[in-house]
Structure 1
């Protein structure tokens, strides 16, 4: 029962109006579970213009989960592979998130059981001219860089295969959570190419140069447990019967982040990201500059008052 409710938690996050074709996914357990909907946070829907509007679903959670944004890839027939349309939709979603100062964390996940993202859409790529391949890869790389540059914490929930560009997207997130059965790898050398959307740069920064070379040179695929041992993912969780264990863990982690001071979290991310690329002395200067940004905030005063009054602080991002 717990597993069924778990999968429904993800499904309900992305529930759609009953008049759409996808509504036939509704199952008997869902109909029973509807009686408890009042205990679930509401969600709002953001639609993006596209030739295939179902490729990406973005939900801004509400209620106690307000501030959490869940971005779900949904290309079941193409194993969530990265197409021109998906890149376009993700750019729009990221831009929307950047403009919303109420966002506190982002979860990137899949709505397709058993798959996170299989990498580039090779069927689509086979149809485009050779001189178009470079510009498309550059655009995909720019998208993943934009994801990396989001000012709020990002969490990749890997409940299935994350290969090639799919793993590169996950590497651009701050935190990665994988189910034990998930499969991950930068497999481009099997196709006589190299990772082209940041994989050769981000993987060494995550697991170290020597291990990254080994995985890329061999195109090796590892499961969630091995990925955790290598430091590729923060957590490896046993997959549940509903196939969304990583998502549920990511949601709990986002809920841990939610009550913290939002400006402080953003400044901490900025200090870490910029500081890790420079020497310690410069990094400490970056930390000092970021600290200076939180001193005049109302949230800092609220934190002090809450501590003095022995109550939970209520931060507004001000």
Structure 2
């Protein structure tokens, strides 16, 4: 059961000294369980070079890692950040959507859904420490957190830019975006497939705060301490109340959403544009 009233008794800023680290291949999870911080805080560091793309393996590891933390009663919050320079996450792995079987597309899309359902519906306090560019699915991860802090570098951008690839962002991507920035900003940004440089992202409310790179982890810890100073139970029920309708909508239409994805991604015109995009990326290397 959620802890009642375990208010944190610490100065503003949780020390990030690590007591325990466990890692698989693509995500490093560091756990600070010291009682002085009013409850454990985990840091999930994405380390899947070159760009932390959301492959089936990455998504599976992410969901399992989050579930483990959720089931760990000592853990009250998680900070998401990247161990790869200049990139938070580049979003969905295009290779998972190109030239594969319908069975593979179904398995992949179910994993994308699972990642979002777990993160958006998490009882823990979730803080995104965005230390690089974060297009598409990477942006969705940040949007799904309770709070977003981004490095104030205009070279780093964030947004749901699916329209640029000829792809339509699913309704639950859209719902998450609308809940953060409001209908008008979301509508314009989604139609144009905009990637917002950090200062613009802050102005539009895509991220809550901008900080210098060297202050990012310290700021994330301070924000986490502020959120953990409240009784878990009240905060968790309030979060659930705010997010339940959006979560329920995907849960109710999950299979339909998978079929929509399969029929859309299987179209030759879409496959062609994805192949062209992959060729363009290869030329950039």
Indicate whether the TM-score tops 0.5.
Answer: yes
**In 1: Cα distance, 2:136 partner to 2:52 partner:** 12
Aligned to 1:73: 46
TM-score (norm 2): 0.73
Aligned to 2:19: 43
**In 2: Cα distance, 1:85 partner to 1:197 partner:** 24
Is the Cα–Cα contact under 8 Å of residues 16 and 221 in structure 2 kept in the other structure? no
Work out the number of aligned pairs and report it. Answer: 229
Q: Any unmatched runs of 5+ in structure 1?
A: 1-38, 48-52, 278-318
Is the Cα–Cα contact under 8 Å of residues 152 and 265 in structure 1 kept in the other structure? no
Cα distance change on mapping 1:192 and 1:272 into 2, 3 Å: closer
Cα distance change on mapping 1:275 and 1:221 into 2, 3 Å: closer
How much does 1:94 deviate? 1.5
Is the Cα–Cα contact under 8 Å of residues 121 and 240 in structure 2 kept in the other structure? no
Aligned to 2:10: none
Which of 229, 242, 258 is the matching residue for 2:228?
A: 258
How much does 1:99 deviate? 1.0
1:219 aligns with 2:193: yes
Aligned to 1:60: 31
Cα distance change on mapping 1:259 and 1:210 into 2, 3 Å: closer
**In 2: Cα distance, 1:266 partner to 1:220 partner:** 32
Deviation per CA, 1:183-239, whole angstroms, max 9, x where unpaired?
101111122112248321111121111211111111111122111111111111233
**In 2: Cα distance, 1:97 partner to 1:155 partner:** 14
**In 2: Cα distance, 1:265 partner to 1:135 partner:** 33
Is the Cα–Cα contact under 8 Å of residues 41 and 62 in structure 1 kept in the other structure? no
**In 1: Cα distance, 2:213 partner to 2:171 partner:** 28
Cα distance change on mapping 1:264 and 1:171 into 2, 3 Å: same
Q: Secondary structure at the match of 2:20?
A: strand
**In 1: Cα distance, 2:145 partner to 2:124 partner:** 10
Cα distance change on mapping 1:89 and 1:229 into 2, 3 Å: same
1:246 aligns with 2:216: yes
Q: Secondary structure at the match of 1:54?
A: coil
Structure with the larger RCO, 1 or 2 (CA within 8 Å, 6+ apart) = 2
| Higher deviation after alignment, 169-178 or 129-138 | 129-138
| Higher deviation after alignment, 170-179 or 267-276 | 267-276
**In 2: Cα distance, 1:248 partner to 1:198 partner:** 31
| Higher Rg of the two aligned structures | 1
Is the Cα–Cα contact under 8 Å of residues 178 and 236 in structure 1 kept in the other structure? yes
How much does 1:274 deviate? 4.6
How much does 1:266 deviate? 2.3
Query: Structure 1 segments of 4 or more deviating over 4 A?
Result: 274-277
**In 2: Cα distance, 1:254 partner to 1:108 partner:** 12
User: Please, what is the CA RMSD of the aligned residues?
Assistant: 2.4
Deviation per CA, 1:115-157, whole angstroms, max 9, x where unpaired?
1000111134335225532441232022111111111211111
Cα distance change on mapping 1:239 and 1:45 into 2, 3 Å: closer
Q: How does 1:1-318 map to 2 (within 5 A)?
A: 41-47=17-23, 53-63=24-34, 64-65=36-37, 66-77=39-50, 79-130=51-102, 132-181=104-153, 182-196=156-170, 198-240=172-214, 245-274=215-244
Deviation per CA, 1:154-201, whole angstroms, max 9, x where unpaired?
111111011110001111111111112231011111221122483211
Is the Cα–Cα contact under 8 Å of residues 117 and 163 in structure 1 kept in the other structure? yes
Deviation per CA, 1:28-58, whole angstroms, max 9, x where unpaired?
xxxxxxxxxxx973421234xxxxx320111
